[in-house]
Every structure is written in C-alpha cells, then in structure tokens.
Structure 1
Amino acid sequence: MYAILDIETTGGQFNEEGITEIAIYKFDGHEIVDQFISLVNPEIPIQPFVVKLTGINNAMLQTAPKFFEVAKRIIEMTNDCVLVAHNADFDYRILQTEFRRLGYDFNTKTLCTVELSKKLMPEQLSHSLGKLVRALGIPMADRHRASGDAMATVKLFKMLLDKDLEKTIITDLIKAAVQKGIAPNLLEIVESVPSRTGVYYIHNKEGKIIFIGRSKNIKKRVNQHFTGITRSAKKIQAEVFTVTFEETGSELIALLKETEEIKINRPIYNRMSRKSNYSWSIYSEKDTNGYLNLKLEKADGRKKEILSYVNIQEGKHALSLITSDFKLCQKLTGLYTSKTCCYQQTINECDGACIGSIPAVEYNERVADFIAQSSFENKSMVIVEKGRTINERSAVLVENGVYKGYTFYDLNYQITKIEILKNIIIPMQNNRDTRNIIQGHIRKNKGFKIINF
C-alpha cells in the first residue's frame, strides 16, 4: 500500500516551516482506497511569496485545525504504507519535524517520484511535477495546492508502475512486508486479486518473481495454480509469498506484457511451462508458371513469413478462410493436391489459375492484396481498445511497421498528439512474437479501432 501525499508550507527558515495544507491519497497500486485533505493552521505567518504561489493566506487558516488535531488521521493514513511524493525528502522532513514537535518519532519508508521518473523516463527534459505532467498529458487542477499536486502525483505514479517492467518498485514493497512479518496465506492471496483481465506475478519471500501469467479472469487462474496437482503447481504452492497483478482491460496488452516481461524477468517456473511459439507460417513463392503460391510450412527464420500460427491446425483453418476471402485457388494455396485442376474449379468456383485459365498477373494481384492487408510493414497506426476502467482507453503503437509499446489514457489528445503519445508509451521490444500477437489480434477484427497516422 502507498500513501501518496503533497504538503504546502508557510516557507521560511529551514526546519522552521509550518504545514498550511496536506493531502494524502491511500493507493493500493491500482486505485485510491482512502483520502485525507485538510488545511492546517501553522500558528505562524505565511511568507508573502507562498501566498502568491498557492493562494492560501493567513485568514483562510484561522479556523483550520492545528497539526496536533490532524496528526492521528495522518498516522492512520500512512501506517504500514510506503510514503510517495514528488521530492519526497522535503515532504518527509516536514512531517518528521511536525511530529517531533509533538514528541512523536515518525519513521516510514519513502519513494520519490522525481528519482523514479529520472530512472524510468530519462528522455524527459524536466522532472518537475508541472512540466512532467504537461509532457505526459496528465490533467492537472489546482496546481500548487496539496490536493491537485497529490492527485497529479498519483497519476504519475501509476504511469511509473506501468513503466517499471523489471518490477523493482513492487519487489521493494514485498521485501518491506516480509520485514514487518506480513505473510498472507493462499486463500487471502486469491481473495486479493480481481476477476478481471490482466497479468499476474507470483513472488517468493525475497520478492523475486517466480511465475508470470495472464488471464481474462486473474482470480480464477491464480486459484488454479494453488489447487493444481502438477509438479510445477506444487512447487509454486510451496514457494509463493504473494501475488501482485496489473489489470489491462485489453487482452492484446495482457498478451504483449506477458511475452515481454517473461523475457525480462525470466521467472523460473515459466521455463517449465509450454509457451506458444508460432511454429507454423504462411509463405509466398512463385511457381514455374509465374503464379504466386501460398504455402503453410514449419517456421523458417531465413524466410520472410506473412502470417504465423501456433500449430498446423490453426494455420490450415486460417489458410482456408484466406483462400475463400481473396478468391484464391485451393491448389495454389496447398489445400488441394492434384496434377490437374483443383476441386473448386470442377464446380466452377475457381476461375482456373490452377490450369492457367487466367493470367498470372491478375491472380497475383489478389495474392498481393492478401499480403498487404495481413502485414503492417511500413504502416503507422494506433490500436485503441477499452482500458482498465470505464473512462480509460488503451492504445498499442506501431510506427513504420515497428511495434513501439502500449499505454493507457483518459483524454483523446493524449493519443492524437503524437509527441504526447510517445511520452506516455511504455516501450516494448519489437520481435517476431509481438508482431504475430498483434497480427493475430487484428485478424479477429472486433472490439477495437485502428487510427492510422
């Protein structure tokens, strides 16, 4: 659990400042579960430049509660949480100073979004909160007020969690839980995960990820791990300490995240499971008569594939649909073996490419149409689908035929402005697996739209 906060102060001498406003959002890594926002009477005057910056003046604070009156609520909000703030050293120091005045030793683990953004978004020119949220298209209200700055920090932190593909933030959180003796049992773990689409991570006591999976129903799939009787399931049950998850809403992003993060984190029990490897591919080859033939063959990295499939059955089914949709010849797509014409030609459903009744140029145009529609080579597009919440959308970016990554967004201008889109994208590797995943998703042709640019 995280306590994401922002504090406004009176300004003045170091360690003599007083709090004028505080906002804390308790965040479980997915959503806000509690919040506390209050003006605070610092009992000392506010510096004039601070009044101009924040709009908070001495008159506004006369009837506000003093720090000792809100101290208990602050403890409740931050207890057993990691304190997150933009420039966390400042906010943490101010809180410690105020609690010290009350004779209370306030100590907790902190995370600074300035440092995190420098590590995970090194391409950004500035890591100040105002400039960073503008560059990322994060909507911000009440700048230099505690609630506005804290909410912007929540949204920034969500992006940083998404960009942390090595899961160092989550791992550190789990290590802190181990030190405090928090050890959930298997039933509690299952109850803590949602029945939604996303990626889940099974961790051991060191916080290390031992398995990564994805599912349309995370709770159901995790429960299967914990009730399974296979050798790998038993090993996972013996080592699991906790399960974390990331909702995606989109099955496409869940597939892409799982593929990428298994390669980055190399969980030990993923190596034991059989992974889809797109072992069959469709290739085109010109025959001696000049006709382009389509062939379903074992994948060969030396040849340029058009589409790939997990197994031969899936490939044959797809090739049959392709033959029908593009009015191709069954003999020239390898679906019908004959020394003469194909069966479809005998019932007048093939225009005779198999016996040379139509020019090769005319037939090859139809094959070329199929290849052009099936490949996103040299295309630039955004695949837009539902997101993790009702107001959110997801986007997968392909630029000049290269898969760049994915993101989630709330506002349309975040994807219509390409410079903002590139700032908020979680970068991913472009490889054969990701291309096949995206091509396979596009072939389904439902539940998404494509924006070309």
Structure 2
Amino acid sequence: MSEPLKQSVFPGLDRPLAIVDLETTGGSVTRDRITEIGIVEVDAQGVREWTTLINPQVPIPRSIQGLTGITDAMVADAPKFEQVAKQIWQRLEGKTFVAHNVRFDYGFIRNAFADLGFPLSLETLCTVKLSRALYPEHKRHSLETIIQRFGIAVDERHRALADARATYQFLCRAASERDSEDFMAAVQIQTRRPSLPPGLDPAVIETLPEGPGVYYFYGDNDSLLYVGKSINIRKRVMSHFSGDRASGKAMAMCQQIRDIKAQATTGELSALLLESAEIKSQQPLYNRRLRRLSTLYTIQLHETDDQLLRPVIIPVSDADRQLKMYGLFPSKKKAQNALVENAQPFGLCDHVIVTNTKISGPCMGHQIKRCKGLCCGEFSRLQHNTSLLDALGKLALKAWPYDGPVALIENQHTKGGDNAYTAFLIDNWCLLGSHKGQGEPDLQVLIDKQDESAMLDRDLYRYLVKAVFESAPKVRIVVTDKLKYL
C-alpha cells in the first residue's frame, strides 16, 4: 500500500477519504466504549495507515475478547480516547468518513467527541450500502462475505486496521470492476450534500440533537414557519433540504428559514404529543394537518321506544361516555356524510340514516332500491339494528380498556445513568396532564397538574391508541388505586 493513489480512482468522491474501523466493548453507542481504532487515509498524496488501542475504562466482555482478541490487559496501558482525540481529528478533518456499516463506526466516534464537548460533522459513506448498490446479485454484504468473495488477504480479522484495510481493498476492487458512472451514482446517492437555506447559519445544524423531539423553523422577525417531530431531529431537519425530495411548496419554505430550534423529548410518544400541541397552539404557517378544532363531533346510537337504533350526531363534549362513539369529525356535515357513506352498502333506511324522521311509508332509498325495506316491513328492526352496527363498525372508537385513569410512562436511559422520563395522565383517551423528571415517576405531581377540562382530541386519540394497544417502544402503563379514584 505504498504506491500513491489519486482520488480519481474513486469516481464521485471529490474529497480525501478516511476509511475507519473500530473495535468496541459492545454494540451500544451510548453505553459501550471504543477499544481500538484503525484509519486508512487516502488522498492525492497517497495512502497512509494509523492505528492505536484505546483504554475504554470499563471491562471488556469475555465474548468481545474472544471475538477481537483484545483483552483488558492489552488496553490497560493504552491511551484514553481524550489523549488521542487530537490525532484522530487531524486524520478525519476534511475527509469523507468511510466504514463498513458506517452508522456504527461514525456513531461511536461522534459520540466520543461529543463527550469531550466537540461536535463532529463529516460526510459519510457506507460500504455495505455501496456493495448492495453495485452488487445487487448478491444477498449478503457483510465484511466477512466481501473478504471471501474478492479473496482479500486479511492477517487479523476483527482488528481495526486489518478491517479498515479490507474495506479499502473492496473500494479499489469495486471501482475497477464497475462502470465509473455506476460507481459514481452509487456514491453520490449516499454523499449528496443538502443545500442549506441561504439565510441560515450552518452552525445552527450542529446544535440540533440527534435524538427524539420537536423542531421549529423560523423565518424573518422570528415568525414560526413550521413545526415537526422526529426520533432523530438533526437527520430529519437535513432531509428538508434535499431538493430532489422536496415539493415546490417545501422548497419555498426552506428558502425562508432563518433559524432552527429544537426541544428534545424522552421518546417518540412525547414528540408526537408535543408536536400536536405546538401546531394547534401556535398555528405555524406551513402546517396544515393538525389544526385545532374548537368542537369535535361523534356519532352515537340511541334505542327508541320501538326498539330501533337511531344514530345521533352530537359534540364529543356532550357524548355519553358509557356508550360507544363512532368517529371523530370536525363538523356535523362531515359526520353525516360518513354516516351515509358507510350505511348505504348495507341497505339501511333513509328515514333513519338521512332524515332521522318517523317511519311513515317508503323512503327515497327504497324507491331507488337502495333501502332493504325497513320502512315497508320488508326488513325487521332487529335486522336493521344489526346492519347499522356492522355499517358503523369501522368508525368505532376503541373502548377505554381501564376502569379509570392510568399513567403512561415513557423512559429514556441517559449516559449519566439517570433514568429520564415523561409521565402522561390519561383517562378515556383524554390527556389530563404530563410531567417530566428523572428517577422513579412522581405520580402525585402528575395528579396535581391534571387538567380536568381536557377534551378528546382526534390526533391524540390516534397516538394514544397506538401507545396502549401496540406497545409503543419504551412506554409502560401504570395502573394504581392512587390514579383510579381521582
């Protein structure tokens, strides 16, 4: 590897490369630590190699020692990351960060620098994705498989520099075997650089967290343009600036952005609920989907004296919570349209569905052969009631599965060992209150902060149903008598 290698060997890569491989104490970016780093630098001056063991300051699991051959004794006298951070940075600065499964290696490196208070932002290239793009005829693209497929000589597998060399050799083989335009296209799909809005300070991007939360786009005079949520705020924000993915309206919005702020949350549920509340309270210019509605309507069925079920459209605030509710609608008209649309295929009577009037002869639906004949004695009340229940079945709201209020606890384990949480007080799909803290959730604080005027909300209902019935990640449900008898 002593011969100079010019950048033009790798079409589409217009800057020097740092091909990196790490060995670590495990697979968790936030919990585990780096034990070894190997870097192959490639630029117009040639190819250079660098490697060092790193003292992770934690024991290396036996399974990892068996895989890598790196033992606690080997790293005992090795430098700590902060002692070699400057050397590592000098080898990465201004280069494209290349790795096999780059998300793993770059995540560890970026997190290690973040611990030192130094934000790292490099262009990345994943050779796993590159292999899949260039060799779609193969099903497996692990480094082990690639080494065997190309006959790459490796002296020590699962050692950082040896694996970085193997990754470099794969790049060389792929660049020589594949058409240069195909290679360039595969590279540029990964390394395309979004164009930041002209009025936005690029340094703002580095301040955005890479975890869950809500982000805010501001225009001139601090006018709020847009509110969004994501499980990775920085990544989601950058996706707004990829012009090939944006609509004309989205691109117009991006051109107006002057500042971006973010509010981190403990998880996805918190982000969803916060986004919904912020959009409805602040009414950003470019958000249209989650407008606040002063009144929601639903459909309920009431049985008349003649044992006939009749649908009634009422405000949700007036609904009988002991009866099933069918749908949440922004207006009476939309509720009526949904009722008719769902009822017609079941042959239901217009006197019940459309006009809600006394049955006094054939309805219009029967005259055009749409009604099965409740109004003419051809269809019994029992049959009509059963058909009506079937017709509205898909509109039915989920029944509240508890006897009273419950607490939804969303946890986030932080690097410092603290267990951050957000607790939500929920009853009948209504959000009564929330509380953020650390350690064991304080339910009394949650109870004290409850909003007894809280009403059912269409968007929150959807999010909460998913959290309760689909076991949202990192969310647990607490049911205690303290909550039950509020």
Give TM class, smaller chain: 0.3 to 0.5
Tell me the TM-score normalised to structure 2 length.
0.38
TM-score normalised by L of structure 1: 0.40
Bigger radius of gyration: 2
